[in-house]
Amino acid sequence: MNIKPTKAHIGGLVTVALMTTGFYPLSATGSPHERQLAVDLLQYYNIVERPTRNLSQPVIVRVNVNIQKIMKLDPNAGELTTRIWLSLHWEDANLVWDPLRYNNVSAIRLQSSRIWQPDVRFYNGRISEQIEPTQAIVFSSGKVKLISPITVKTRCGGPIEGLGRWFPFDQYSCSLIIGTWTSYSGSVDLHWQEENGGTVRFNDQVADDTGEWQLLGNHKGRAEVQFACCSETHTSMTVQLRLQRRAFSYVFSHYLPLLWMLALASSTLLIPNDRTDLRLIAGTLLMMGVFWWPSGQHLPFNVISIGHLFTGLIILGVSSCFVSHCVQLVLISSSIDTTRRQTPLAEYLNRLLTTSTALKLALISDNRPEHDKDGLPDCSRVLDRLSLLLLAVIACLALVICLILPCMVA
């Protein structure tokens, strides 16, 4: 059965052939007028040609930064990862048309890869920024608006207070430095969209969506810089961010449990002296809990911070309780068998714990009864009180680190 092709069939085949060969620009979608407009605009367009009517004048590019999310700040590596919307506005002399010729089409959307765009980069970027391909909005007057969502990882400057020594109450000053890579300021000149500078626009949820970090403030500026590689002057746009770590999560998840372990270690001194075995078992378990507590993985490894000091004080307090129980065991072991001569260590500990200095530190009066002045009960009482005094000093220092130092930083 022979079927003769009709004009409709031939027209459809021609349309498919034209689309597959790229005759129709797929960068623009919409009515036939928009399609024809895209063909006329891009037919002889050169993406490397600087779109200006006067070659001696620079292309003015208006820049705007809208920070959507502060994803991560790694103080140890000095990296800030942010999710931003980078908005660029400029005028392209090669993308001007009369709307009346195209059924009053005054704006069209084109793929950004098909038109000229400024080679804007982040000067302090750690790696190549991830720029998602988007469409540019082109107006009949030649104005172009390009908004690109970018995930960028930049180098972060040092913290405001002491290079991380105030962890977890530290504050950091980080910056995003934007500029053209190959175009100097005489060919492409960058300006903020708001001439008066001021602050950067943020998403309404950015301050609450940072998780670990809280945004305290921001500022943006513009400067003319000259690099060692090039003689021309480049325009540098800087966005300065001031961030503070949310310390309450660390206080409740790390500091308070360690303080609780220190309190439990001090409670082991309430166990009778003749049950030193129970003291040693409880002290061993508490020491294992302190050393295994996952607090070190969050501490900065490039500096000694107050977090290190706090953890060290807790370890010192629990260890002192364990040492006190070991000394009690030595004293009890030497006093059980009265027929054997005391070991040199036991004799030295007895003399040390019955000196006037030790008694004053333990708040024990010299007018105590005679039966309390000799033997194991007196030494055990002095040892327990000295241990409690040391634990009290350590607990006060830990509380100063937790409560007073943060107020000083703020």
Q: 25-246 domain in CATH 3.40.50.1820?
A: no
Give the per-residue pLDDT at 27.
Answer: 46
For the chain, where do the domains classified as CATH 2.70.170.10 start and end? Answer: 25-246
The pTM for the full model equals: 0.68
Who wins on pLDDT, 10 or 354?
Answer: 354
Q: What is the spatial distance between Cα 49 and Cα 45, in angstroms, rounded to a whole number? A: 8
Contacts of 103 (CB under 8 A, 6+ apart): 31, 33
3-state SS record for the chain: CCCCCCHHHHHHHHHHHHHHCCCCCCCCCCCHHHHHHHHHHHCCCCCCCCCCCCCCCCEEEEEEEEEEEEEEEECCCCEEEEEEEEEEEEECCCCCCCHHHHCCCCEEEEEHHHCCCCCEEECCECCCCEECCCEEEEECCCEEEEEEEEEEEEEEEEECCCCCCCCCCCEEEEEEEEEECCCCCCCEEEEECCCCCCCCEECCCCCCCCCCEEEEEEEEEEEEECCCCCCCCEEEEEEEEEEEECCHHHHHHHHHHHHHHHHHHHHHHHCCHHHHHHHHHHHHHHHHHHHHCCCHHHCCCCCCCHHHHHHHHHHHHHHHHHHHHHHHHHHHHHHHCCCCCCCHHHHHHHHHHCCHHHHHHCCCCCCCCHHHCCCHHHHHHHHHHHHHHHHHHHHHHHHHHHHHHHHHHC
- The predicted-structure confidence for 396-409, as pLDDT tens digits, reads as follows 888 887 767 666 65
- The predicted-structure confidence for 57-86, as pLDDT tens digits, reads as follows 899 999 999 888 888 888 777 788 888 899
Q: What is the spatial distance between Cα 113 and Cα 307, in angstroms, rounded to a whole number? A: 50
Mean pLDDT across the stretch 155-181? Answer: 74
Give the per-residue pLDDT at 227.
Answer: 79
147, pLDDT greater than 90: yes
DSSP-assigned beta bridge partners for residue 222: 237
- The predicted-structure confidence for 284-333, as pLDDT tens digits, reads as follows 887 777 777 666 566 666 667 777 788 888 888 888 888 888 887 777 76
Mean pLDDT across the stretch 134-149? Answer: 94
Q: What is the spatial distance between Cα 202 and Cα 99, in angstroms, rounded to a whole number? A: 35
